[in-house]
Amino acid sequence: MSALDLLDDQARSVLDALCAQVAGRPSLVAVLFPAVGRRVARGPGPSGDPTGTLGPTLEDLARIELLRTVVESLPPTDAATEITDLYGYGDADEKRAVLHGLHLLDGTVPEVAETVRDLLADALRTNDTRLVAAAAASGAQSLLDDHAWRQTVLKCLFVGVPLRLVAGLDTRADLELARMCADFAHERSAAGRSVPADTRLVLDRFPEHPFHEGPQEG
C-alpha cells in the first residue's frame, strides 16, 4: 500500500509537490526527506503500530514515495548512492524508511545489490527492533544468500521481532534454519531463559525431524 492510499487530499498534494521537486532535482531529497513527517503526515500505517515495528508508518510510506522518485529519476548506481547517503545521515526514523524502500533499487545491477546488502547488514547489527524489523521485512531480503538470510531470522529471535514479518519465511525456511533455531532454543533453555514461541514457526515445519523436540517456549 502506498502513502497515496492513506493520506488526505492536503497531505497528498504536499507529497506530490515534494516528489515533483525531487524529480526535477534529485539531490533535493537530502533536504526534503527529513521534513516529510512535519510537512506531510505522521501516525501509524496499515499495521496500526505507531512505532513502525510491525509495518511502515504514514511517514515511512510518504518517504518511500520520495525514494521511488529518486529511483525513477537517476541511473541505478546514482540512485543507490543517494539513498545510501539518506540512510547514513538519517535518524532512526529516516533509516527505517530507507530500509522499507530498498526493494525499489535495481538489484540486478551488481554494485546496487552490494549496496543494498550492506545497508541490510548495518540495520541487522543494531538492537533497534524497528530497524531490524524493517530490514527483515524488506523485499530486498531476496538479494541475501541463504546464510545471511538465516542470520536475519536468528537476529529477529534474539531481539524479539515477530518472525511472521521476515520476508521469504514461507519459501526459504529449511532444515539448516530449523537446526539453528533448535540450537538457539536449547541455549536459552540451558541458561534458564524463556524460549520465544516464534521458534515454532520454523521448527513445526519439519515435524519429521527431532529439532522441534526439547525445550518449550514460555
Closest to 72 in 3D by CA, of 102, 104, 103, 97: 104
- pLDDT over 90 percentage in the chain: 87
Q: What is the pLDDT of residues 31-84, one digit of tens each?
A: 999 999 999 999 999 999 999 999 999 999 999 999 999 999 999 999 999 999
Query: In this structure, what C-alpha cell is assigned to residue 99?
Result: 530500509
Q: What is the pLDDT of residues 11-39, one digit of tens each?
A: 999 999 999 999 999 999 999 999 999 99
- Whether 102 and 116 have beta carbons less than 8 Å apart is answered as yes
Cα 129 to Cα 33, 49, 53, 91, 218: the distances in Å are 22, 13, 7, 14, 21
Q: Tell me how far apart the alpha carbons of residues 106 and 62 are, in angstroms, rounded to a whole number.
A: 20
